């Protein structure tokens, strides 16, 4: 899994624009939360996607609170921590948090989104 870190609110639009080429996952991570570490480890250990199948973006929300808030506002999702947001064609197709974060959920929503 190749995390691409971001930290600036203006990068959210770039990620959304990129989602027209390949689905994009944003992982909002809290370095103060053990559940966040577990969620990150589960993603990394089960990650089945090649780099040309999905881009994965990492946001340290403790260090980048303004950007974390901008993600919630711009993508119109409720702020959670930890949280994954999957974007395809500029639209949020999955928003999950805590122990609901799983590769199986991502694969399922990507498959159903194609139908």
The pLDDT tens digits for 5-17 are 999 999 999 999 9
The pLDDT tens digits for 60-114 are 999 999 999 999 999 999 999 999 999 999 999 999 999 899 999 999 999 886 6
**Cross-strand bridge partners of residue 58:** 5, 27
Pair of tokens at residue 96: 């999950």
Residue 81 DSSP symbol: S
- Alpha-carbon distance of 54 to 24, in angstroms, equals 6
- Alpha-carbon distance of 93 to 109, in angstroms, equals 7
**Confidence bin at 1 (pLDDT 50/70/90):** confident
Could you tell me the residue ranges of all domains in the chain? 3-113
The pLDDT tens digits for 100-115 are 999 999 999 998 866 4
- Alpha-carbon distance of 74 to 41, in angstroms, equals 27
Architecture of domain 3-113: 3-Layer(aba) Sandwich (3.40)
């Amino acid at each position: 899994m190749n995390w691409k870190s971001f930290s600036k609110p203006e990068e959210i639009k770039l990620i959304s624009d990129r989602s027209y080429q390949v689905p994009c996952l944003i992982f909002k991570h809290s370095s103060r939360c053990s559940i966040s570490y577990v969620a990150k480890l589960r993603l990394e250990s089960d990650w089945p996607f090649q780099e040309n199948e999905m881009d994965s973006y990492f946001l340290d929300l403790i260090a980048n609170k303004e950007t974390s808030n901008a993600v919630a506002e711009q993508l119109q999702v409720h702020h959670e921590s930890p949280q994954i947001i999957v974007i395809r064609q500029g639209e949020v197709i999955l928003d999950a948090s805590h122990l609901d974060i799983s590769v199986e959920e991502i694969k399922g929503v990507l498959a159903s989104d194609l139908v």
